[in-house]
Structure 1
């Protein structure tokens, strides 16, 4: 407080001195003008000017004192300008007293490649952030917030990292972070898994028995494990400020280098990018890619005990959506892709898909080829170009992405709104379900002009 009072005293003193200087300058100008006889006769009287009226009569009037061109009409106190950037003009010259710069605390791109918040250097330090590059034309710093085990945060775009980050973590235990709302008008937290590498499920029933990631305090979210780089979750933030959400990495498996970096963004209730109710994953845009957790075409295993919904925002002037299984390839070098399987594993939910032969698709809830253990639901889905009955089905499973019994993958379309896909896996794989990877689907929304039944 003493420093603040001292700063205010110096500021007022500077302004007062400036006012005295300005007033003295005006007095000096007036004195010089009188000395030069500007506007007055030699005997000190004001000069008079002859004026002729319309009738030819002549009268004399005193001339008013003329203001020097560019000079202000009257002196204005500078005290009213101390809270915003200002300059004072005198004789065409500028006297800059001081400048106060204000900028909004918006998101910024840090030099580290992370997302941060634009703050002053002092505020970033006080709030526990790390300055990573400039923002606001150099007046601020891009402040990045990192948090790890046993801490809590209410900062938007906080990164939850493993102990020893950026190095790996090779230990066992529980690493928990508590998330509080930045303000009451926060409805959701979006979790982006920038890095997510922990032990995968056991190979028989695909349960996360060793390592797992658990979310508590929001909407129900399944426990996940394995490799989930690039995937995400939306978590309900609840009502008010008294419902914190906790994120917990539990590590109890064999020793190996784990690492995680989860970006946590807080989503206000009235934004257009808020996810629909009940959606664990939410995608926007005309096209995109959806992957089940721990999906990998080479070594990933479908996780058991999963129940959640994936939602895609219907873009303007689009009335349908098509899904196609992803190519079963990986990038090896210089953007060159190679196949990792002798047949596609991009959709393998049930059956023994570990062998060399393709596994047929299964559909529906009745009959010998029905989906009763693991499946996805696409409301009223049908193969593109399909004519005649059956009109559509909901459940799809097996080892081939097709709404009919087939070993040939195809493109599937649905026109049910909103666009939503439901995922279900039970807690048993062996002995009938072996080697299933999960799914990877590319989606493309279809314009309303494509003769879709809307």
Structure 2
């Protein structure tokens, strides 16, 4: 009995000693594991862990694992996009922004932009209002229905930023009463631009035309657009797109250009030109510019085709347009000179004719035929003076010498520097 007790006591001591050794070894390994950033599992815990992993594998056969990271990231994803230009569902141009921003700034949503994350916000305003939003549309009261009332309708355009140098006006719709029939003065309806560079008043039909307005320096003085309507009832309709142009952009117009065209080819028209109903406006005085494209050194002008009249009226500035009228050139008061109304084409020459010396250049062209020579035959006219610029001038008198003049419509095409005409 005593021996058995000694054996049992000795066994217990050995078991305690072994357990203490294992405990110390485990603590040492755990400490080393923490120092190295790992996790240590005892033999028994490792077995439990393997069993747990096997259970998870079995669960995944029936239930897909929860993607916790992607779920929570989607809740905090922020989509941003620039407030750039966009095309609305109606075809109007607008600014891409959020729905809240569009509403707070007084616009109306018109289609999506930024891959569906933004709304194309259209800004449209009418009489007695102001705007600093780019690409604002100025429309008549009751638009799209015509306006037959009289009075004054004004929009004040305020710079969106001090760096804005110009305001471009695109006449998407422009139909107001035309000039009176004798001297072609806009005495019933007028469109007047004030607050910028001097711009002549216009009237009549000018859809598709445009203007560039000098916005000046700073942001104090707004540019004002005013329609004045009076006289007989008339179905007036206008929709003018107002674009603000920063100073440092490549599409800024040259100084002194009321109209500015880009591209190798295009078409120029005087205000209120129309082959049937149009009349040349009096009191006009403004520059028309074409940007010289790369590798082009000259520009050629040709009167537009007139498919309405039995004799072309695409260029009728002087004389009785009910009869054939020859071209008139140069300044002065002679019978074949342009003293009152003219289109100035710097150093112009008919295509096919040798370029004249600088002192002999034709500048002013008028009459009822477009040609740089005195002629009854219309011709294409070439100019190599840079920059490419025309100047249009009319006085305040038509009758009795000038009857039914339409103004001008010219197609232009720039000539490459390698052209043998230059």
TM range (shorter): 0.7 to 0.9
Which residue of the partner structure matches residue 313 of structure 1? 291
Q: Deviations over 1:323-368 (max 9, x none)?
A: 000011xxxxxxxxxx21011000000000123xx21000011443
Which residue of the partner structure matches residue 150 of structure 2? 172
Q: Deviations over 1:383-440 (max 9, x none)?
A: 0010375753000000000011111111000000000000000000011000100000
Which residue of the partner structure matches residue 232 of structure 1? 210
CA distance in 1, matches of 2:316, 2:375: 13
Larger radius of gyration: 2
SS state of the match for residue 72, structure 2? strand
Which residue of the partner structure matches residue 100 of structure 2? 122
Which residue of the partner structure matches residue 440 of structure 1? 409
- Of structures 1 and 2, the one scoring higher in RCO (CA 8 A, sep 6+) is 2
Which one of the candidate residues 315, 334, 342 is aligned to 2:310?
342
1:149 aligns with 2:127: yes
SS state of the match for residue 95, structure 1? helix
Which residue of the partner structure matches residue 95 of structure 1? 72
Change over 3 Å in CA distance of 1:383–1:173 after alignment to 2 = same
- Greater share of strand: 1
Change over 3 Å in CA distance of 1:160–1:361 after alignment to 2 = same
CA distance in 2, matches of 1:46, 1:206: 107
Change over 3 Å in CA distance of 1:345–1:242 after alignment to 2 = same
Taking the TM superposition and a 5 Å limit, the aligned residue runs for 1:104-119 are 104-119=82-97
SS state of the match for residue 101, structure 1? coil
Which residue of the partner structure matches residue 423 of structure 1? 392
Change over 3 Å in CA distance of 1:123–1:387 after alignment to 2 = same
Structure 2: runs of 5+ lacking an equivalent: 1-21, 41-65
Using the size of structure 1 for normalisation, the TM-score is 0.78
Contact 2:261 2:291 survives alignment (8 Å)? yes
Which residue of the partner structure matches residue 338 of structure 2? 371
Change over 3 Å in CA distance of 1:368–1:105 after alignment to 2 = same
Contact 1:353 1:434 survives alignment (8 Å)? yes
CA distance in 1, matches of 2:245, 2:356: 44
Change over 3 Å in CA distance of 1:119–1:359 after alignment to 2 = same
1:252 aligns with 2:219: no
Equivalenced residues, count: 371
CA distance in 1, matches of 2:260, 2:404: 28
Which residue of the partner structure matches residue 51 of structure 1? none
Which residue of the partner structure matches residue 371 of structure 2? 402
Q: Return 151-160 or 388-397, whichever deviates more.
A: 388-397
Contact 2:349 2:355 survives alignment (8 Å)? no
Q: Deviations over 1:156-179 (max 9, x none)?
A: 000000000111101000001101
Contact 1:215 1:247 survives alignment (8 Å)? yes
Change over 3 Å in CA distance of 1:451–1:126 after alignment to 2 = same
CA distance in 2, matches of 1:241, 1:271: 18
Change over 3 Å in CA distance of 1:132–1:64 after alignment to 2 = same
Q: Return 110-119 or 387-396, whichever deviates more.
A: 387-396
Deviation of 1:63 after TM superposition, in Å, equals 10
SS state of the match for residue 44, structure 1? helix
CA distance in 2, matches of 1:393, 1:436: 22
CA distance in 2, matches of 1:253, 1:321: 43
Which residue of the partner structure matches residue 381 of structure 1? 348
CA distance in 2, matches of 1:123, 1:91: 33
CA distance in 2, matches of 1:173, 1:438: 28
Q: Deviations over 1:67-88 (max 9, x none)?
A: 89xxxxxxxxxxxxxxxxxxxx
Deviation of 1:94 after TM superposition, in Å, equals 5.5
SS state of the match for residue 125, structure 1? helix
Deviation of 1:298 after TM superposition, in Å, equals 1.1
Contact 1:224 1:293 survives alignment (8 Å)? yes
1:361 aligns with 2:327: yes
Structure 1: runs of 5+ lacking an equivalent: 1-39, 49-60, 69-88, 329-338
Q: Return 130-139 or 412-421, whichever deviates more.
A: 130-139
SS state of the match for residue 219, structure 1? coil
Q: Deviations over 1:148-202 (max 9, x none)?
A: 1000000000000000011110100000110100010000000000000000000
CA distance in 1, matches of 2:68, 2:342: 82
Q: CA RMSD of the aligned region, Å?
A: 2.3
Taking the TM superposition and a 5 Å limit, the aligned residue runs for 1:35-114 are 44-45=26-27, 64=36, 66=38, 95-96=72-73, 97-114=75-92
- Greater share of helix: 2
Q: Deviations over 1:284-314 (max 9, x none)?
A: 1110100000000111000000000000010
SS state of the match for residue 353, structure 1? coil
Contact 1:215 1:245 survives alignment (8 Å)? yes
